[in-house]
Structure 1
Amino acid sequence: MRIPSFGVEEELLLVSATGHPLPRSKAVVADLPDVELELTRAMVEINSPVCTTAAELHGHLSDLRAKLAQAAAEEGARLLAIAVPPRGEAAQSITRKARYEELALRWGLLAREQGVCGCHVHVEVPDKQAAIRASNHLRPWLPALLALTANSPIYLGRDTGFASWRWLMTTRWPCAGPPPYLESPEHFDALVSMHLAAGTLIDERMVYWDIRPSSHLPTVEVRVSDVPLSVDETVLLATLVRALVMTALEDGGQGPTVEPEVLRAAYWLAARDGLTANGLDVRTAEPLPMPDLLQRLRQHALPALQELDALDLVDDGLQRALTAGNGAIKQRTAFHAKADLLTLTEIKPEPKN
């Protein structure tokens, strides 16, 4: 089994001392490599280098998070690993880039309220056909990955009742959420062309499905996740995605067709309940406790995880999530205990020598 390279994009939130989104991104990223501006001026994005091991990815993300937190502190901001703003107003100021300004002009409040932070995992694939196959194979597992990494229950000072409010917000876009079953690269291209002709997209980069062929890299990109609370959780997610892509490409088939309404129900349960209740096995339409569903995912990808020498990493990570809780569980516990969400989710600056 060929082992593909992989990498991660993490979107992070800049806030004031009181937790309100702080539009200082341009100043914060000015002197940093591998960090970019995002749609709103209170968001920044880390782009890891291409990696070949989980340890390498962990090191890069830890280093970039710490340096970015230091740059934020120097601009009077706090950097949070949180998927939606914990306080403030819904509408935020848009980054002054032509593409983002066009999004705001054409999509109005939808764009200005889209200051939400996800985590995108890229896995190397040989060509677009392989990316399409991987997308079809991974569709049944995307809700479980969402539940595992959910980190957005508290929005603007309120408990939303959902583990991932970010996912609900992102699915308001015209080409977002559960991906369709794709028959071929030509089918993908035809759907994109339809959206472009209809005016529901301005370019292929606006294909916001939870998994997609990258428009500019030789990768398949999984976009379903909230930004995780910790680097360990991000590396767990990236390792599982890498193993699932390897499993898909080793299979060689076009991937299982699943009932769209079952997939939709599975997503809804994952976004609402995260790890705390039943999920849905999309392949069988069988309700299952989410820990059991994650074990099915692990078994499905087991040969690839063994090839990556990542079984201990995954088993330890899943056990921590199920015992200590993921970001959604920790945030909700802190919120109802009237503890400080900023302290829980803040990334600390790089220690001074």
Structure 2
Amino acid sequence: MKLPSFGVEEELLLVSASGDPLPRSRAVVADLEDLDVALELSRAMVEINTPVCTTADELHDHLVHMRSQLASAAAEEGGRLLAIAVPPHGRAAQSITKKPRYQELARKWGLLAREQGVCGCHVHVGVPDKETATKVSNHLRPWLPVLLALSANSPIYLGQDTGFASWRWLMTTRWPSAGPPPYLESADHYDALVAMHLAAGTLIDEQMVYWDIRPSSHLPTVEVRVSDVPLTVDETVLIATLVRAIVLTALDDGSKGPTLEPEVLRAAYWLAARDGLTARGLDVLRAEAMPMADVILELVRHVEPALRQLDAVDLVRDGVQRSLREGNGAVKQRKAFREGNDVVDLTEVTGQS
């Protein structure tokens, strides 16, 4: 089997020298013609889109280059670029980008849209067609809380510790079609659910399907959207490689994937969002509570044959052990906050970050 290609979208936050959201995204990206960058709903956010990649090293190099170029462009506009999933300072309501679609979102969803200045990491993995994407989605569902726990990078919001490792996840799940996707019987089932939302007015278009996994509306990929934007490039590459390995495992399996008790999946999400790496999680396939570290290692074991095919066993094992030993963005932000340090300094994109 040909190994699936992959790529990443990273949303990054622009802030002023004082750390408040800086609504200058259009000016920051104006001269970055050689990079695939996009404006987001909030004028204080910018999205980078890597090229299609076939190796983890390739993905790493693209992310380092793109983050660095964007950080330099932000500095030229008097700003700072942060790899952080929610604004650490300022106020909740953000300025909306002046694009017709975003302005319509603001009109119809009010404060919900204006408070959506949150930054995620979306991993795209190539699949043959939408039918395959729906089957892969079912295989990915059990591992979504694990990916959230690994990437959690949003405990500090507007100057306070929220009590959650991923406050971003709590904010994003307020939308009509957000959070874990339903179990999908087929591509027709997916299309019918989207059509229902459109007819009801809970979506304005298919791009508003904010489920944590979805068939891409414009690319031949399955898109996994559960993660906070990680603090470091190494963490992003780890998340993307795990997602790619789960997809490859699903493609080798060929079945529709396991059904899950929705309440177990909900509880697993809640634990991952609240505690991240630092406490207990749930093995959703067995509805069994265990330390989150053990649930993560269950995922690594599940995809180990795929990791061997991808020549990524050491990358993933080393990356997971480093995260468990040193902490992810949420752990490091909380430590800085407790010690009286500004998380802006910790999360600013510089050099190889």
Partner of 2:29: 29
How far 1:348 sits from its partner (Å)?
1.9
Partner of 1:215: 217
Which residues of 2 match residues 244-323 of structure 1 at below 5 A? 244-323=246-325
Is 1:48–1:57's contact at 8 Å kept on the other side of the alignment?
yes
Partner of 1:165: 167
Tell me the alpha carbon deviations over residues 89-133 of structure 1, each in whole angstroms, 9 at most, x when there is no partner: 000000000000000000000000000000000000001111001
Partner of 1:72: 74
Partner of 1:206: 208
How far 1:2 sits from its partner (Å)?
2.6
Partner of 1:124: 126
Tell me the alpha carbon deviations over residues 29-69 of structure 1, each in whole angstroms, 9 at most, x when there is no partner: 11112111100100000000000000000000000000000
RMSD of the alignment, in Å? Answer: 0.8
Q: Does the residue aligned with 2:240 lie in a helix, a strand or coil?
A: helix
Is 1:69–1:349's contact at 8 Å kept on the other side of the alignment?
no
Q: What is the aligned counterpart of 2:94 among 92, 95, 101?
A: 92
What is the one-letter code of the residue matched to 1:150? A
Is 1:40–1:114's contact at 8 Å kept on the other side of the alignment?
yes
How far 1:7 sits from its partner (Å)?
0.1
Which residues of 2 match residues 4-153 of structure 1 at below 5 A? 4-32=4-32, 33-153=35-155
TM-score w.r.t. the length of structure 1 is 0.98
Mapped to 2, the partners of 1:317 and 1:128 lie a distance apart of 31
Q: Does the residue aligned with 1:121 lie in a helix, a strand or coil?
A: strand
Mapped to 1, the partners of 2:112 and 2:162 lie a distance apart of 18
Q: Does the residue aligned with 1:59 lie in a helix, a strand or coil?
A: helix
Q: Does the residue aligned with 1:316 lie in a helix, a strand or coil?
A: helix
Mapped to 1, the partners of 2:192 and 2:128 lie a distance apart of 21
How far 1:339 sits from its partner (Å)?
1.3
Is 1:128–1:185's contact at 8 Å kept on the other side of the alignment?
yes
Mapped to 2, the partners of 1:348 and 1:62 lie a distance apart of 9
Mapped to 1, the partners of 2:150 and 2:42 lie a distance apart of 26
What is the one-letter code of the residue matched to 1:6? F
Q: Does the residue aligned with 1:342 lie in a helix, a strand or coil?
A: helix
Identity of aligned residues (%): 76
Q: Does the residue aligned with 2:282 lie in a helix, a strand or coil?
A: strand
Which aligned segments of 4 or more residues in structure 1 are displaced greater than 6 angstroms? none
Mapped to 2, the partners of 1:199 and 1:85 lie a distance apart of 29
What is the one-letter code of the residue matched to 2:203? L
How far 1:288 sits from its partner (Å)?
1.0
How far 1:349 sits from its partner (Å)?
6.3
Deviates further, 264-273 or 32-41: 32-41
Mapped to 1, the partners of 2:274 and 2:301 lie a distance apart of 25
Mapped to 1, the partners of 2:179 and 2:344 lie a distance apart of 28
What is the one-letter code of the residue matched to 2:223? E
Mapped to 2, the partners of 1:340 and 1:205 lie a distance apart of 35
Mapped to 1, the partners of 2:2 and 2:214 lie a distance apart of 21
Mapped to 1, the partners of 2:194 and 2:290 lie a distance apart of 35
Mapped to 2, the partners of 1:167 and 1:267 lie a distance apart of 9
Mapped to 1, the partners of 2:130 and 2:185 lie a distance apart of 12
Q: Does the residue aligned with 2:122 lie in a helix, a strand or coil?
A: strand
TM-score w.r.t. the length of structure 2 is 0.98
Mapped to 1, the partners of 2:326 and 2:44 lie a distance apart of 29
Mapped to 2, the partners of 1:68 and 1:155 lie a distance apart of 23
What is the one-letter code of the residue matched to 2:75? A
Is 1:70–1:349's contact at 8 Å kept on the other side of the alignment?
no
Is 1:7–1:123's contact at 8 Å kept on the other side of the alignment?
yes
Mapped to 1, the partners of 2:139 and 2:15 lie a distance apart of 38
Partner of 1:3: 3
Mapped to 1, the partners of 2:42 and 2:105 lie a distance apart of 11
The gaps in structure 1 that reach 5 residues or longer are none
How far 1:340 sits from its partner (Å)?
2.3
Is 1:69–1:347's contact at 8 Å kept on the other side of the alignment?
yes
Tell me the alpha carbon deviations over residues 284-343 of structure 1, each in whole angstroms, 9 at most, x when there is no partner: 100010110011101110110000000000011001100000000000010011012111
Partner of 1:348: 350
Q: Does the residue aligned with 2:97 lie in a helix, a strand or coil?
A: coil
The gaps in structure 2 that reach 5 residues or longer are none
Mapped to 2, the partners of 1:261 and 1:212 lie a distance apart of 21
